[in-house]
């Protein structure tokens, strides 16, 4: 389990790194990292289902998974990720992202915490190279476990058309036998005159024939406002020498253009139909910052989706020690509810209470100087909502279900 968590943490750090890179390049003068969260906390739900054990199937069996805190400077962003292992928080990964000219992500270094020496040991480095404003390549290095020396692991080169739109990613892996980079795979982007991607196609390099073999293809379909409506992925069958549908992803957006829903479907050939496999919902604040992301999955041999993971975003000053959501000072009951929602805090102070729907719209807001209050909810639509309570002690967020 610990090894799996470490893999997830590395994947998260890399994905967040590339997402931030894209965001900064879109708004370089604004310094987009300044609007990033100061803390991201993730909880697992219904874990027993996904461990193939008998579980309750309710959201009361939640356990903390990871927490990441961020510090932002003018030319460096540092994050510290801890994992909940053996009923305690254990430091796992430190990520340092170096910003170039407040417009480009120059490089990222990930370090693993050594519990024996109680020191950080550098593990992975990602370096971007640019030609003008266009990214030309990305190199990934791994640190030698004995010497700490950086060794090239892989490289991705990018190609562009005459209009400056990216058309190809070419991935190469360093071969210890030959002592050089060996091209292994590539992705082609088919774009329109405005640079919008209509489809992508993935290939792997067949060494013996020295030729490219297609493996998958994804077609994108857009709404009138330019947002992605859905995408369909096909895989190449070597047996039938034909393309077959494998998955479909659909998207939904708030009135402000924020993507609040992403649903993943798998193609079931026996039923000739798309079957829902997973779903991600995001609740946004009034300024379009994500507050909570809810991931739902379908366990093996199950026909229903269950809440698997919830991620909470904090934009204020994070605490120095990760704090499980269950130990917050705000108590909400009953939950689920159909008539009234009772809110109790442990201090008599000014509390600002807001209730958001899944589109990030505020449907209830009130400031009170009390340690207890009641919200009537019987006129609200059934579904999940985000309750946010702000006080001098901080901000607490909880998912509320109205039946």
Half-sphere exposure of 186 (CA within 13 A, CB side): 18
Please give the Cα distance from 8 to 5 (Å, whole number).
5
Please give the Cα distance from 357 to 338 (Å, whole number).
15
**What percent of the chain is modeled with pLDDT above 90?**
40
Check: CATH 2.40.128.720 for 2-327? yes
Average pLDDT (330-357) is: 81
- pLDDT, residue 6, reads 43
Segment among 2-6, 98-102, 220-224, 381-385 with least mean pLDDT: 2-6
pLDDT in tens, 25-82: 443 334 445 567 888 999 888 776 666 443 444 444 678 889 999 988 878 889 999 9
Q: Which of 91, 69, 73 is nearest to 82 (CA)?
A: 91
Average pLDDT (267-294) is: 89
Domain locations along the chain:
2-327, 331-402
* Confidence class for position 93, pLDDT limits 50, 70, 90: very high
Under CATH, to which class is 331-402 assigned?
Answer: mainly beta
- pLDDT, residue 59, reads 45
Contacts of residue 302, defined as CB under 8 A and 6 or more positions apart, other chains included, come to 49
Average pLDDT (75-100) is: 88
The separation between CA 53 and the C-alpha centre of its own chain, rounded to angstroms, equals: 27
pLDDT in tens, 205-219: 998 888 999 999 999
Average pLDDT (290-298) is: 89
* Confidence class for position 327, pLDDT limits 50, 70, 90: very low
């Amino acid at each position: 389990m610990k090894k799996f968590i470490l893999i997830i943490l590395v994947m998260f750090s890399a994905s967040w790194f590339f997402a931030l890179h894209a965001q900064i390049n879109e708004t370089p003068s604004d310094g987009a990292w300044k609007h990033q969260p100061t803390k991201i906390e993730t909880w697992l739900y219904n874990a027993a289902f996904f461990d193939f054990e008998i579980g309750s199937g309710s959201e009361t069996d939640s356990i903390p998974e990871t927490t990441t805190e961020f510090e932002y400077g003018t030319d460096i962003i540092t994050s510290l990720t801890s994992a909940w292992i053996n009923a305690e928080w254990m430091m796992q990964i430190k990520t340092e992202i170096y910003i170039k000219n407040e417009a480009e992500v120059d490089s990222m270094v990930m370090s693993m915490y050594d519990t024996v020496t109680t020191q950080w040991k550098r593990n992975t480095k990602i370096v971007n190279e640019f030609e003008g404003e266009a990214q030309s390549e990305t190199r990934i290095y791994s640190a030698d476990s004995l010497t700490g020396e950086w060794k090239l692991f892989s490289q991705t080169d990018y190609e562009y058309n005459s209009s400056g739109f990216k058309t190809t990613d070419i991935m190469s892996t360093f071969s210890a036998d030959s002592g050089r980079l060996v091209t292994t795979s590539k992705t082609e982007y088919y774009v329109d005159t405005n640079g919008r991607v209509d489809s992508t196609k993935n290939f792997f390099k067949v060494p013996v024939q020295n030729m490219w073999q297609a493996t998958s293809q994804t077609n994108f379909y857009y709404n009138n406002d330019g947002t992605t409506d859905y995408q369909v992925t096909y895989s190449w069958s070597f047996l039938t020498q034909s393309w077959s549908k494998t998955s479909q992803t659909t998207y939904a957006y708030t009135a402000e253009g924020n993507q609040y829903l992403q649903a993943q479907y798998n193609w079931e050939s026996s039923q000739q139909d798309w079957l829902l496999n997973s779903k991600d919902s995001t609740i946004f604040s009034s300024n379009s910052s994500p507050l909570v992301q809810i991931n739902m999955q379908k366990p093996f041999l199950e026909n229903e989706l269950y809440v698997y993971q919830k991620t909470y975003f904090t934009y204020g000053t994070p605490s120095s020690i990760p704090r499980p959501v269950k130990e917050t000072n705000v108590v909400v009951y009953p939950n689920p509810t159909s008539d009234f929602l009772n809110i109790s805090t442990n201090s008599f102070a000014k509390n600002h209470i807001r209730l958001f729907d899944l589109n990030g719209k505020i449907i209830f807001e009130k400031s009170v100087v009390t340690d207890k209050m009641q919200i009537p909810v019987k006129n609200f639509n059934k579904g999940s909502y985000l309750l946010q309570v702000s006080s001098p002690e901080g901000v607490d967020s909880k998912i509320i279900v109205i039946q």
